[in-house]
Structure 1
Amino acid sequence: MAKSPAPSRASPTLTFETLLAQRVNGPVCGVDEAGRGPWAGPVSAGAVILNPDDLPPGIDDSKALTEKRRDELAIQIKSRAVAWGVGFASVEEIDELNILKATGLAMCRAIEQLAVTPVAALVDGNYRFALPCEVQTVVKGDSLSLSIAAASILAKTARDRLMIELDDRHPGYGFARHKGYNAPIHQAALHSLGPCPAHRRTWAPIRALLAQD
């Protein structure tokens, strides 16, 4: 007996944005981050206020898109959104503050870049970051909310570009390929070259290597 095809995942919508905007009576942005888990590089965040009458087709969770499609959508989002912003928190800030607080800092910086001040933000996940506006969390928001999905695309593409620049600055680690995440080539490079200034020194694997030195 042939298997039935798996049900396709529903695309994100503007339902959360519409309901929240009606309640707060003002603009609502979607916010998401990229790069909380890597061993190297900054954490980034995107913030987007979409125009419901001019939505780029195909916006989705950045992880569900190819690199080429993310890059295409990032251009369209920036040209057609009401407002957009990208913020970073550096490796030094991650090590000093911890990754959670650094992520919140990157989100604040992204919101501060918006040309229109939002009254509220939809944030992916279940952690309520301290942001300069009201916050509503949405678990799996990047697959449910178009604004959060758009923010995830901007955060991911911005961080990927920066990691490619870091690959030129610190050759040998493969940053352009794995973007600072745990990968066999990254582990091998760390053991042969040791950590570089782009590495998060409070991360356990990096801390262990520094302790050996």
Structure 2
Amino acid sequence: MTQDAKVEEELSAKNLVIAGVDEVGRGSLVGPVVACAFIFHNLKTSIKVCDSKSISKIKRIRLFYEILQTNSLFSLGLASHKEIDQINILNATKLAMKRAVEGLRSKPDILLIDGSNKIKSDINQKCTIKGDSICKSIGAASIVAKVSRDSLMDKLSSLFPLYEFNTNKGYGTKKHKKLISKYGITPIHRKSFRLT
């Protein structure tokens, strides 16, 4: 067990309320960045959570529903493509995380944040590189954020069917970039990103 994973268990043993915080969509060319703040009701859950990007879509969706059945709290926060273009992706990511934390019905004692960037908050914070792979609460946040954003991209795909957002989720695949070259950009593409 890594030191950071031990920290999560030690905090839980002190009866501190822990919120894991993670985001998805930073590298996408389209749409919002989505963050999740997640509080397990019981950290001793048998659910094995991990980095949402490291598992198959089927397993991710199964874990998503298992996580939702743990009687836990979570909140999603978004920063739109327009906000990303206005304040840059890093600041927009921190804004989405802040919104997710502020949306929680219960204020946590500490935030465990995936990565190395703290957010503006009066709540104690600990940043953990690759936290979604080693901390249960961050892993759960990662999965909930990913499944939620993917669902949003599926809906956006019906509005912009030429761009196949249901398969590329807005990321800069070769095919997506070819479609941009062929059809131009949509109103939800991030203009501050290199799109072709």
TM-score normalized with structure 2 length: 0.91
**Take 2:101 and 2:110, find their aligned partners in 1: how far apart are those partners?**
10
Runs of 5+ unmatched residues, structure 2: none
Pair 1:93–1:132, CA change in 2 (3 A): farther
- Cα pair 2:110 2:124 within 8 Å, conserved: yes
Structure 1 residue 53, shift from structure 2 partner: 5.9
Q: Cα deviation per residue 1:154-195 (whole Å; 9 max; x = unaligned)?
A: 110011001111111111111111111111110111011100
Equivalent runs, 1:194-213 vs 2, <5 Å: 194-205=184-195
RMSD: 2.2
How many residue pairs get matched? 196
Moved over 6 A (4+): none
Equivalent runs, 1:3-42 vs 2, <5 Å: 15-21=6-12, 26-42=16-32
Structure 1 residue 114, shift from structure 2 partner: 1.8
2:162 partner SS = coil
- Cα pair 1:34 1:159 within 8 Å, conserved: yes
Q: Does 1:51 align with 2:24?
A: no
- Cα pair 2:49 2:133 within 8 Å, conserved: no
Give percent identity, aligned residues only.
37
- Cα pair 1:166 1:198 within 8 Å, conserved: no
**Take 1:132 and 1:196, find their aligned partners in 2: how far apart are those partners?**
38
Pair 1:56–1:157, CA change in 2 (3 A): farther
Equivalent runs, 1:154-169 vs 2, <5 Å: 154-169=144-159
Structure 1 or 2, whichever has the larger Rg, is: 1
Give the letter for the 1:105 counterpart.
Answer: L
Partner residue, 2:86: 96
Runs of 5+ unmatched residues, structure 1: 1-9, 207-213
- Cα pair 2:47 2:67 within 8 Å, conserved: no
- Cα pair 2:111 2:125 within 8 Å, conserved: yes
Partner residue, 1:7: none
